Amino acid sequence: MIRAGGWICLAPVVAMSPAAPPAFGQNVKPISTSLAECAVIYTEIAGLRPARRRSPEKQELMYAGAELFAEEAVRQASAEGIADPEAHVRDLRADLATKWSGRMSSLLKLRENVDWIEYCAALGEDRGLLPLED
């Protein structure tokens, strides 16, 4: 336990290792998990089409984007050494769908999640998945 500026931090003791430990509080989940989460987010956004009066073509692009993220998540999970990457990503998506269900249902909720939307856009561009073309 470390006391810093009046805050109590529970920090693990890090043994000497050749790799630098992640910064305190840094997100260290595997990229495959982030890709799967972006697939779920794109699916959630695509489901908003009727409420947002978007064209069916835009909705299909969002669903296509979700599948691109999911396919990339499987490739990445395989590269991370996960034994059954397809099952892993399928299970992740099912769990994350519960987390994200309804989180974009209103404009206010959409604004609360803009950081995730921007993260997914940047991750998709970095992986060559985005931008989506008509």
| pLDDT reported for residue 24 | 52
Question: If residue 7 lies in a helix (H) or strand (E), which one and from where to where?
Answer: strand 7-9
Residue with the bigger pLDDT between 132 and 126: it is 126
Residue with the bigger pLDDT between 104 and 32: it is 32
* Through-space distance between the first and last CA atoms of the chain, rounded to whole angstroms: 54
pLDDT tens, residue by residue, 16-42: 333 444 455 555 789 999 999 999 999
- In the chain, the percentage of residues whose pLDDT exceeds 90 is 48
| pLDDT reported for residue 98 | 93
Task: Indicate the pLDDT class of residue 9, thresholds 50, 70 and 90.
Answer: very low
- Write down the pTM of the prediction: 0.74
What are the tokens at 131? 């931008």
Q: Identify the residue whose tokens are 């910064």.
A: 23
Q: Rounded to an integer, what distance in angstroms lies between the CA atom of residue 118 and that of residue 38?
A: 10
In this structure, what are the phi and psi dihedrals at residue 103, rounded to the nearest 5 degrees?
-75, -10
Q: Rounded to an integer, what distance in angstroms lies between the CA atom of residue 66 and that of residue 97?
A: 12
pLDDT tens, residue by residue, 39-92: 999 998 888 766 556 678 888 888 999 999 999 999 999 999 999 999 999 999
